[in-house]
Structure 1
Amino acid sequence: MAYRNFLLSEGVEPERLENTRVMEQLYNADLAHFSKKDNCREVYIQKQRGEVLGVAVVESGWGSLLPTVVIANLMHGGPAERSGDLSIGDHVTSVNGTSLVGLPFSTCQGLIRELKNQSRVILNIVHCPPVITAIIQRPDTTYQLGFCVEDGVVLIKTMPASTYRLLTGQETPIYL
């Protein structure tokens, strides 16, 4: 959203810029993704006072375009899951009007823990699927990539290591 606002302040329409080849290549198209209004939304969650929100979060990662926390897991039956509006991979940009962007991970966790005392929670999120598909196309078959390629195209799916550890049970989620 910050990038979108920057573009607008400079008189550039983000929707027009998204269609350029440069935007497609920068940050694996993250700039275009984070500047789309359809990916940014406000989520309202009703819960009981004293009830945890029911999210496990991880850092968005070093060098992330949007330095905040990412939902790595939803507690089964918890308020966040019951809302039906959150998904693993969503970036949480603010909680009840307090921005999480750029804050230390421990501070973000603390702000989410404090939501336990609230009965109504408002999250601003950027919806991001946890798995990213990258398409690599080589100019011709003389270029070696180290794996099998059909018709010069390879699909690779990746996710942040912290999300992988939670999804595979290699790390125990702490629900906030």
Structure 2
Amino acid sequence: TVSVRHPDFPDSLINGVLFHARYLGSTQLLSERQPTRNSRMYQAQEAVNRVKAPDGEHQPHAPVELFVSTERLMILNANLQEILIDHELRMVSYIADIGDIFVLMARRPSVNQSDSCNMPPDGTVPETETNTSRSDSGGSSTLSDTSTEPSDYRIRGLSKTVFERTRKPDTKLVCHVLESSDARLIAQSVGHAFQLAYLDFLRESGVEDLTSVKHLNYQDVLNQQEIFCDELTMFTDKQRHKQITIPKQRGEPLGVVIVASGWGSLLPTALLANMNPLGPAARCGQLNIGNHIISVNDQSLVGLPLNSCQQIIKACRNQTSVRLTVVDCPPVVEVLIRRPNLQYQLGFSVQDGVICSLLRGGIAERGGIRVDHRIIEINGESVVAVPHEKIVHLLATSVGEIHLRTMPTSVFRLLTGQDVPNYI
């Protein structure tokens, strides 16, 4: 622990921790007010792409010290004599570690924002696709949102978005890119700082009994969750892979609608969303809505954009048979969340029945909740035609075993006739 002079009150000291790092640069991005998990991850990667020199090229940098405290994050010069960059902790919206790269994203304060604004009681903190125990392991291409232990502070912050329906204008983010062998540890330390800051806020607000907050052992609750909808197991289990040959007339389209597996899937590929009942795909009788298409005629679709996947399928029109490799996944996902009591926030937000953001590594994700899925049942009760407010109430007040059924929104809209299928 070290002490650094407060940037606004030089006679005061702030206690925190220091990390050696190399400052690579900063950039500015526009962001939605409540971006999705994938949006946050792409923003972090975009910041790195803008700032970091390509491999093999000289990387300009400056040795710095990154100071982490419960009040602010600061980047200082190597001898600690000058504050180069300073952000109040409450202005940090996202952090990520990508191998040895640490990305810090902070909201730019609006001109009418009060300098004396305290940290909000709901904990509107960095939305961590770092926001949380974001736990994509720190590989060279992996994003890891803040700490590995989700803090109650950040969980509360995400839960607030469940109640916010008003669309707010885009916000400006300033993104700082640093390099350090301690990138993962830095991310964990920032997450811990948010947790401590929330406890400090409760004390300042007159909440004297913090035992209920301190003793919320979130990891124990995580360990009680069954890993539902374990997509990685499905994709790696070769017995679930089906090789299908579809006979067809030359010039005849396959008769399918595919959509991107999207934010809610662990494996980016094409998802079978609809079939023409008179087309070859439906006639073969071996395909089901919800199947993930891994390859077409031995050409992998994994990781390709949707347009490329569509072009590969369209290119089969002049053939008399098409070979598909699919993983048989049901269109409806069964979700089970175990929530001991209301003090444990679910950690995801809903807009008109659609899951629009998710706390990585939280009880909801482990239970099978996926971003961009439409909730169709809660504890056996259909919510397809239920108002947003009732869905929020059902989720906010449910404890114990919470059973949900969801499906990808694009599939739901096609099956319910809200979107017109465009067969290829």
TM-score when normalising by structure 2:
0.34
1:77 is aligned to 278
Aligned 8 A contact 2:259 2:410 in 1: yes
Amino acid at match of 1:30: E
1:132 pairs, out of 323, 327, 333, with 333
- Inter-partner Cα distance in structure 2 for 1:169 and 1:136: 30
Alignment of 1:127-166 (within 5 A): 127-140=328-341, 146-147=393-394, 149=398, 152-166=400-414
Secondary structure of the residue that 2:412 maps to in structure 1?
helix
Closer/same/farther in 2, CA of residues 97 and 55 from structure 1, 3 Å limit? same
Give the counterpart of 2:233 among 32, 38, 50. Answer: 32
- Structure 1 residue 142 displacement after superposition: 7.3
Structure with the bigger RCO (C-alpha within 8 Å, sep 6+) is 1
Mapping of residues 2-81 of structure 1, within 5 Å? 25=227, 28-62=229-263, 64-81=265-282
Q: In 2 relative to 1, CA 144–113 (structure 1 residues): closer, same or farther, beyond 3 Å?
A: closer
**Secondary structure of the structure 2 residue equivalent to 1:165:** helix
RMSD of aligned C-alpha atoms? 2.5
Structure 1 residue 167 corresponds to structure 2 residue 419 = no
Give structure 2 stretches of 5+ with no counterpart. 1-222, 347-392
Greater strand proportion: 2
Cα offsets for 1:70-124 (capped at 9, x unmatched): 0000101211011111000001111111111111111110110111111011001
Amino acid at match of 1:166: L
> What's 2:299 paired with?
98
Aligned partner of 2:317 in structure 1 is 116
Q: TM-score, normalised by structure 1?
A: 0.78
Larger radius of gyration: 2
Partner residue of 2:176? Answer: none
Give the number of equivalent residue pairs.
Answer: 154
Structure number having the greater helix percentage: 1
Deviation (angstroms), 1:35: 1.8
1:170 to partner: Cα distance: 1.1
Give the aligned residue type for 1:70.
L
* 1:35-92 CA distance string (max 9 Å, x none): 2222211111101001111111111003632111100001012110111110000011
Q: Distance in 2 between matches of 1:91 and 1:142?
A: 37
**1:133-176 Cα distance to aligned partner (Å, 9 max, x none):** 101122258768742658x2221011111111111111111111
What letter is aligned with 2:294?
T
Asked whether the equivalents of residues 254 and 317 of structure 2 are also in contact (C-alpha less than 8 Å), the reply is yes
Distance 2:409 2:255 in 1: 21
% identity of equivalent residues: 48
Q: Which residue of 2 aligns with 1:107?
A: 308
Q: Is the 8 A contact 2:229 2:334 kept in 1?
A: no
Where does the alignment leave 5 or more consecutive residues of structure 1 unmatched?
Answer: 1-20
